[in-house]
Amino acid sequence: MAGAPQRLRVADILTVGFGTTVAMWAIGYLCRLFGDAVPAPVVFALLLLCLIAGGVVAGRYAKRGVRGGVWAGLLTGALNLLIVGSVVGGQTPNALKAGAWMWTAGSLGVSAALGGIGAVIGSHRRHPLPEPDWPGGLAVVAACATFLLLAAGGLVTGFDEGLAVVDWPNTEGYSMFLYPLARMTGGVYLEHSHRLLGSLVGLTTLVLAFQVQFTEPRRWVRRFAWVALLLVVGQGILGGLRVTGHFTLSTQPAHTDPNVLLAIVHGICGQVVFATLVALAVWRSRAWQDAGPPQPAPSASTDRTFGTVLVGLVIVQLMLGALVRHFTWALDILRYGLPIDPDRLIAVGQWALHLHITVAVLVVLLGITVGVRAWGLYQGVPPLRRLGSRLLLLVGVQVALGLAALVVSGNDAPDRRPTALDVAVTTAHQVTGAAVLAWAVMLLLWNYRRLTPRAGAGAV
Model pLDDT for residues 338-395, shown as the tens digit of each residue: 455 556 656 666 777 889 899 999 999 999 999 999 999 998 899 999 999 999 999 9
With a cut of 70, say whether residue 6 has pLDDT above it: no
Residue with the larger pLDDT of the pair 362 and 263: 362
Question: Across residues 121-129, what is the average pLDDT?
Answer: 75
With a cut of 70, say whether residue 331 has pLDDT above it: no
Mean pLDDT is lowest, of 25-34, 123-132, 226-235, for 123-132
pLDDT of residue 91: 78
pLDDT band at 259 (very low <50, low <70, confident <90, very high): confident
Mean pLDDT over the full length of the chain: 88
pLDDT band at 332 (very low <50, low <70, confident <90, very high): very low
pLDDT band at 89 (very low <50, low <70, confident <90, very high): confident
Residue with the larger pLDDT of the pair 162 and 59: 59
With a cut of 80, say whether residue 426 has pLDDT above it: yes
pLDDT band at 455 (very low <50, low <70, confident <90, very high): low
pLDDT of residue 149: 96
With a cut of 80, say whether residue 327 has pLDDT above it: no
With a cut of 70, say whether residue 317 has pLDDT above it: yes
Helix 219-244 to helix 186-215 angle (10° resolution) is 160
pLDDT band at 206 (very low <50, low <70, confident <90, very high): very high
pLDDT of residue 344: 62
With a cut of 60, say whether residue 403 has pLDDT above it: yes
pLDDT of residue 249: 86
Q: Is 0.75 topped by the overall pTM?
A: yes
pLDDT of residue 376: 92
pLDDT of residue 456: 46
Question: Across residues 315-341, what is the average pLDDT?
Answer: 65
Question: Across residues 233-255, what is the average pLDDT?
Answer: 90
Question: Across residues 257-270, what is the average pLDDT?
Answer: 85
State pLDDT tens for residues 69-86.
999 999 999 999 999 888
Report the share of the chain in percent with pLDDT over 90. Answer: 61
Nearest by Cα to 243 from 258, 261, 264: 258
pLDDT of residue 390: 96
Which residues lie below 8 Å from residue 257, measured CB to CB, with a gap of 6+? 244, 245, 246
Question: Across residues 158-174, what is the average pLDDT?
Answer: 89
pLDDT band at 330 (very low <50, low <70, confident <90, very high): very low
Question: Across residues 112-127, what is the average pLDDT?
Answer: 88
pLDDT of residue 442: 97
pLDDT of residue 135: 84
pLDDT band at 94 (very low <50, low <70, confident <90, very high): confident
Mean pLDDT is lowest, of 5-19, 211-225, 323-337, for 323-337
User: How far apart (Å, rounded) are the C-alpha atoms in residues 400 and 137?
Assistant: 32
State pLDDT tens for residues 276-301.
999 999 999 999 999 888 989 989 99
With a cut of 50, say whether residue 90 has pLDDT above it: yes
Residue with the larger pLDDT of the pair 333 and 443: 443
